[in-house]
């Protein structure tokens, strides 16, 4: 090897990852296990459980390739980690990474034999895929706006990190009845507190004349084949009870959860079956026991050291604002609660990002984020925080160079699409591509600039299992198959009116829409809304008015919407329109094909 | 005697420091595989330009021998080859020289771009060439032809496809395994350190005694790099299917694919 080195020293005021989540021995063990599995010395099911516990999902129609889910606790990613993910995606995946709706990075189509190498690479930058899949506590989420949100009471990030740290590799979390999800959020408006097993929103109350930090805790929510909105455990949970509450809920679920029926073993089914009040009582009793027996032994180690922000380059003004800048500012940028700073959201397509783009994102984080890192968002997106207002044009110009400056991130144009038939065994349709198509159309029609649509969402899943979160979308779709005579075509079920905020509700099923009619159907809904809307009314509030039966003048109910869309979704014969029978991204005719699910191990 | 000659060919890569001193000693011939216009703007001192397109226009042994002799390469001359394309083009040329019987050929372990970024000497002068004689001793044991593949596979040979993952999933020679060329190099060098390459191969249960045949999309460049990656960690029986998948398809041979999955739509490009 050459004695001369190419590596150059980087400026040393860059923040380093605070926590090393990795254990390189786990990579070595994984490589050994793959060999034993290939030699037939471990049976398929045991190996599968092991593989999932370590964050490697099987790929569509084959176990020979994995999707590796890289856990990103609280969504925080440092530049060197982004660069490592870029490198690993080029070496072992498809040169792209994917940002999930739960703030993870995912690498698809990694050969099973290389999973250990990816894990080894991740361990060099302190990242792990451990417990990212399987029957364990998944990535602990935290709002990408935590710490900067104008509406938040305090920053929940240190609590999310401490929780993730307490739970990772903790034996209590290694073989739960099924997966378990914890979401911290900043405020009522942003985040997913009500659709997780445990959702938490920072809250403060006065106790004995003193303001005390704590949380509103929500239990038993979640999206899936059957979805539920969570229940609030109690008015206020003080911060010293946070860990004991989490432990109690996990224990109760571990003890009482259904281990027989894979389709009904998430905690929300348990809550639903025994009833909320009973469940609530059991949890509170359990907590009294945990508190009495554990409180001297364990405490959540919350690192509250205030962060020292870096001085980022104060830009000299660009001579003129780059093309598209004002549209981007309007639809991708929010003011932070800290004066002088902004937060900028990147519009990805269905969460996909190339290795080269990741490297540029790493550089831009170094140059323009005073916290020197990025966060993965809740919407398959990437978020730059602590950007000085005057640096925004330069950040935009940097993004523009690598095709990352699309507008629409905080609008209806930012469409969620799960991985669908691109890699998932359960998918029936190519929801991933459809989401990209819808997003492109929205941007082409400049619908991101329409203030009436801004607060609405479109989310698409490739099957009823809701990874694309269709049930909390203003307009949500999940994939299936339709048939005319003997000919099959890709078909979605459309749901309207879902939302995840303080008025959380699941979307109501409206009608079936063939894949190739999804785009015109959405545009038709927008058109109907425009002719029906009241002064100042937004699409999502109009949808709710109609769902509640208070519509009008012409479209009064969900049924009326259905009637006005009916003619647009009629299936032509295959001779009339061959393309109708072909899903996005395919050249042959459509067949609904699925393999075994990997969610339930 | 046989062992001695093996020892000599064992140099798969040459590092920059060694190359610089060998250039100073004038004990080496250096081949630059880049395009002529790139070469003219600057190259490693004493390097002779041999654009890959010249080789691909006619890679018959006689023609290659002609080139070799015109460059002044004798049977015992040490040759180092480089490119600016992560070593794949250089590999194809190095392999071709070995195929006609030139043993002492190795790859510069960095690209020309990396050489420049290190601030090492470059030149715009063209070296003068004196024609020399070189013998022709074909080495059929490092070449695989289309008809050889399936029978060899039956007998346990490992077929390695060095194209990128998505291309491999879309279609490949039946039974081949995929080791994308991107896996072979490191941030700095055209090939990873030996211990890393060994681990990647061991993870795939390929033993050093295995017969391995590499191929890629069309002309044997990516798979040329694959060939040298395997040689570098001590696999003796490696062959290059130099006409690769392009020929395989044109012969209407059987093809395997990963079907019922839209993996292309995961790409953000």
Tokens for B45, please give them: 């001192």
Mind listing the pLDDT tens digit for each residue in A503-512? Answer: 888 999 999 9
Work out the pLDDT band at A16, boundaries 50, 70, 90: confident
Does residue A113 share a domain with residue A54?
yes
What pLDDT is recorded for position A586? Answer: 87
Does residue A117 share a domain with residue A57?
yes
- From residue B100, how far is each of B66, B80, B128, B131 by CA, in Å? 11, 16, 24, 17
Test A116 with B203 for CB contact under 8 angstroms.
yes
Test A7 with B188 for CB contact under 8 angstroms.
yes
Residue A178 within any structural domain of the chain: yes
Chain A hits for B204, Cβ within 8 Å: 113
What is the CATH number for A572?
A: 3.30.413.10
Determine whether A14 is exposed, middle or buried from the number of CB atoms within 10 Å of its CB (0-12, 13-18, 19+). Answer: middle
Residue in B199, B204, B265 nearest the CB of A430: B265
Determine whether A307 is exposed, middle or buried from the number of CB atoms within 10 Å of its CB (0-12, 13-18, 19+). Answer: middle
Tokens for A452, please give them: 């009436």
CA-closest candidate to residue B66, choices B55, B77, B76: B55
Question: Is residue A318 over pLDDT 70?
Answer: no
Residue A3 within any structural domain of the chain: no
CA distance A532 to A544: 13
| Domain stop point among A124, A157, A183 | A124
CA-closest candidate to residue B33, choices B177, B232, B254, B224: B224
Mind listing the pLDDT tens digit for each residue in A367-384? Answer: 999 999 999 999 999 999
Return the SS3 of A233: coil
CA distance A482 to A127: 42
Question: How many CA within 13 A on the CB side of residue A284?
Answer: 13
Question: Is residue A145 over pLDDT 70?
Answer: yes
Residue A373 within any structural domain of the chain: yes
Test A357 with B110 for CB contact under 8 angstroms.
no
What pLDDT is recorded for position A552? Answer: 82
Please count the residues of chain B: 269
The answer to whether A243 and A215 have CB atoms below 8 angstroms apart is: no
Mind listing the pLDDT tens digit for each residue in B75-92? Answer: 999 999 999 999 999 999
Total domains in the fold of chain A: 4
Question: Is residue A447 over pLDDT 50?
Answer: yes
What pLDDT is recorded for position A407? Answer: 97
Residue in A109, A113, A436 nearest the CB of B263: A109
Does residue A431 share a domain with residue A396?
no
What is the CATH number for A383?
A: 3.30.70.3340
Does residue A105 share a domain with residue A166?
no
Return the SS3 of A228: strand
What pLDDT is recorded for position B4? Answer: 41
What pLDDT is recorded for position B6? Answer: 42
Chain B hits for A419, Cβ within 8 Å: 266
Residue A312 within any structural domain of the chain: no
Does residue A502 share a domain with residue A379?
no
Query: How distant is the Cα of A200 from the closest Cα of chain B, in angstroms?
Result: 32
CA distance between the termini of chain A: 45
CA distance A502 to A221: 13
What pLDDT is recorded for position A78? Answer: 97
Determine how many CB atoms are found less than 10 A away from the CB of residue B36. Answer: 12
| Domain stop point among A401, A424, A442 | A401
Mind listing the pLDDT tens digit for each residue in A47-77? Answer: 999 999 999 999 998 999 999 999 999 999 9
Give the least confident one: A261-265, B13-17, B193-197, B224-228: A261-265
What pLDDT is recorded for position A12? Answer: 56
Give the least confident one: A310-319, B57-66, B151-160: A310-319
The answer to whether B159 and B176 have CB atoms below 8 angstroms apart is: yes
Tokens for B211, please give them: 């017969």
Does residue A266 share a domain with residue A165?
yes
Q: Which residues contact B83 (CB under 8 A, 6 or more apart)?
A: B32, B33, B34, B52, B89, B90, B111, B112
**% helix, strand, coil for chain B, step of 5:** 40, 15, 45
CA-closest candidate to residue A109, choices A62, A141, A174: A62
Residue A98 within any structural domain of the chain: yes
Does residue A420 share a domain with residue A397?
no
What pLDDT is recorded for position A8? Answer: 40
Residue A317 within any structural domain of the chain: no
Find the residue in A nearest to B16 (Cα): A2
Work out the pLDDT band at B10, boundaries 50, 70, 90: low
Query: How distant is the Cα of B61 from the closest Cα of chain A, in angstroms?
Result: 32
Of the two residues A487 and A294, the one the predictor is more confident about is A487
Indicate if ipTM > 0.90.
Answer: yes
Test B263 with A422 for CB contact under 8 angstroms.
yes
| Domain stop point among A246, A271, A294 | A294
Find the residue in A nearest to B259 (Cα): A61
Question: Is residue A475 over pLDDT 90?
Answer: yes
Q: Which residues contact B18 (CB under 8 A, 6 or more apart)?
A: none
Residue in A109, A116, A421 nearest the CB of B169: A109
β strands within A46-145, DSSP E: 56-59, 62-70, 76-77, 96-99, 105-111, 141-142
What pLDDT is recorded for position A305? Answer: 83
Does residue A420 share a domain with residue A562?
yes
Beta bridge partners of A505: A499
CA distance A47 to A41: 10
CA-closest candidate to residue B82, choices B64, B107, B103, B104: B107
Does residue A516 share a domain with residue A444?
yes
Does residue A374 share a domain with residue A286?
no
Mind listing the pLDDT tens digit for each residue in B210-252? Answer: 999 999 999 999 999 999 999 999 999 999 999 999 999 999 9
Give the least confident one: A430-439, A547-556, B232-241: A547-556
Angle, alpha carbons A553-A558-A561 (nearest 5°): 65
Q: Which of B112, B113, B261, B269 to mutate to test binding with chain A, by most A CBs within 10 Å of its CB?
A: B261
Find the residue in A nearest to B185 (Cα): A91
Domains of chain B: 2-138 (3.40.250.10), 141-266 (3.40.250.10)
Residue A130 within any structural domain of the chain: no
Test B262 with A111 for CB contact under 8 angstroms.
no
Q: Which helix (H) or strand (E) holds A222?
A: none
β strands within B126-168, DSSP E: 158-161
Does residue A460 share a domain with residue A384?
no
Question: Is residue A536 over pLDDT 50?
Answer: yes
Residue in A59, A91, A422 nearest the CB of B182: A91
Mind listing the pLDDT tens digit for each residue in A166-186? Answer: 999 999 999 999 999 999 999
Tokens for A164, please give them: 């993730």
Question: Is residue A445 over pLDDT 50?
Answer: yes
Does residue A503 share a domain with residue A430?
yes
Work out the pLDDT band at B13, boundaries 50, 70, 90: very high
Residue A425 within any structural domain of the chain: yes
User: Which range of residues forms the domain containing residue A28?
Assistant: 24-124
What is the CATH number for A105?
A: 3.90.480.20
């Amino acid at each position: 090897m050459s004695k001369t080195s190419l590596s150059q020293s980087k400026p040393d005021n860059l923040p380093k990852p605070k926590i090393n989540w990795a254990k390189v021995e786990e990579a070595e063990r994984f490589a050994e296990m793959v060999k034993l599995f290939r030699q037939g010395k471990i049976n398929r099911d045991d190996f599968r459980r092991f593989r999932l516990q370590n964050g490697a999902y099987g790929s569509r129609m084959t176990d020979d390739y994995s999707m590796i889910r890289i856990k990103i606790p609280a969504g925080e990613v440092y530049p060197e980690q982004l660069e490592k993910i870029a490198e690993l995606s080029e070496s072992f995946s498809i040169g792209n990474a994917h940002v999930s709706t739960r703030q993870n990075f995912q690498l698809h189509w990694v050969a099973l034999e290389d999973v250990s190498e990816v894990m080894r690479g991740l361990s060099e930058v302190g990242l792990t895929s451990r417990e990212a899949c399987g029957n364990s506590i998944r990535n602990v989420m935290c709002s990408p706006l935590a710490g900067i949100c104008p509406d938040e009471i305090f920053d929940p990030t240190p609590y999310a990190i401490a929780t993730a740290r307490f739970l990772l590799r903790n034996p209590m979390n290694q073989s739960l009845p099924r997966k378990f999800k914890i979401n911290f959020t900043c405020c009522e408006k942003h985040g997913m507190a009500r659709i997780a097993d445990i959702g938490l929103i920072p809250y403060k109350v006065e106790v004995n004349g003193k303001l005390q930090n704590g949380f509103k805790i929500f239990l038993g929510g979640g999206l899936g084949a059957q979805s539920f909105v969570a229940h609030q455990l109690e008015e206020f949970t003080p911060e010293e009870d946070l860990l004991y509450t989490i432990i109690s809920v996990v224990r109760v679920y571990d003890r009482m959860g259904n281990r027989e029926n894979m389709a009904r073993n998430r905690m929300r089914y348990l809550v639903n079956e025994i009833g909320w009040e009973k469940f609530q009582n059991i949890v509170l009793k359990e907590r009294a026991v945990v508190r009495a027996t554990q409180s001297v032994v364990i405490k959540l180690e919350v690192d509250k050291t205030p962060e020292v922000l870096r001085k980022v380059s104060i830009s000299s003004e660009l001579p003129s604002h780059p093309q598209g800048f004002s549209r981007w500012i309007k639809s991708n940028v929010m003011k932070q609660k800290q004066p002088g700073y902004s937060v900028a959201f990147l519009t990805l397509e269905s969460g996909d990002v190339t290795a080269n783009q990741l490297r540029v994102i790493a550089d831009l984080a170094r140059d323009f984020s005073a916290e020197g890192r990025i966060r993965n968002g809740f919407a398959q997106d990437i978020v730059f925080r602590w950007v000085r207002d005057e640096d925004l044009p330069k950040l935009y110009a940097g993004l523009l160079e690598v095709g990352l400056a699309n507008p629409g991130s905080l609008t209806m144009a930012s469409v969620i699409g799960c991985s669908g038939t691109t890699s998932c065994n359960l998918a029936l349709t190519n929801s991933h591509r459809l989401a990209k198509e819808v997003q492109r159309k929205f941007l082409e029609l400049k619908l991101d600039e329409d203030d009436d649509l801004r607060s609405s969402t479109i989310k698409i899943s490739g099957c009823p299992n809701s990874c694309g979160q269709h049930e909390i979308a203003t307009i949500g779709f999940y994939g299936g198959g339709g048939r005319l005579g003997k000919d099959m075509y890709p078909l979605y079920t459309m749901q309207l009116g879902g939302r995840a905020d303080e008025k959380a509700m699941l979307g109501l099923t409206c009608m079936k829409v063939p894949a190739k009619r999804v785009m015109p159907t959405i545009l038709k809904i927008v058109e109907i809304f425009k002719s029906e809307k009241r002064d100042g009314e937004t699409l999502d509030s109009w949808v709710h008015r109609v769902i509640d039966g208070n519509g009008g003048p012409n479209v009064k109910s969900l049924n009326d919407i259905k009637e006005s869309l009916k003619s647009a979704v009629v299936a032509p014969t295959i001779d009339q329109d061959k393309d109708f029978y072909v899903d996005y991204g395919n050249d042959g005719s459509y067949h609904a094909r699925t393999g075994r699910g990997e969610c339930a191990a | 005697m046989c062992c001695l000659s093996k020892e000599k060919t064992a140099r798969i890569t040459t590092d920059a420091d060694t190359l610089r001193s060998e250039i100073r000693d004038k004990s080496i011939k250096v081949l630059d595989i880049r395009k002529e216009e790139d070469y003219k703007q600057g190259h490693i001192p004493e390097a002779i330009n041999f654009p890959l397109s010249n080789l691909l226009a006619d890679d018959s042994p006689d023609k290659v021998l002609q080139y070799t002799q015109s460059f002044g390469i004798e049977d015992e001359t040490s040759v180092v080859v480089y490119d600016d394309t992560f070593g794949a083009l250089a590999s194809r040329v190095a392999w071709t020289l070995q195929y006609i019987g030139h043993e002492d050929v190795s790859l510069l372990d960095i690209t020309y771009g990396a050489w420049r970024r290190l601030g090492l000497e470059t030149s715009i002068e063209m070296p003068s060439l004196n024609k020399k004689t070189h013998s022709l001793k074909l080495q059929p044991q490092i070449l695989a032809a289309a008809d050889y593949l399936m029978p060899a596979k039956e007998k346990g040979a490992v077929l390695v496809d060095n194209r990128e993952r998505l291309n491999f999933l879309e279609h490949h020679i039946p039974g081949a395994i995929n080791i994308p060329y991107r896996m072979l190099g490191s941030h700095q060098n055209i090939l990873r350190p030996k211990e890393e390459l060994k681990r990647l191969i061991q993870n795939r249960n390929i033993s050093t005694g295995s017969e391995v045949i590499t191929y890629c999309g069309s002309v044997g460049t990516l798979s040329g790099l694959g060939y040298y990656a395997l040689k570098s960690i001590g696999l003796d029986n490696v062959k290059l299917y130099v006409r690769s998948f392009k020929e395989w398809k044109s012969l209407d041979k059987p093809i395997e694919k990963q079907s019922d999955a839209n993996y292309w739509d995961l790409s953000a490009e």
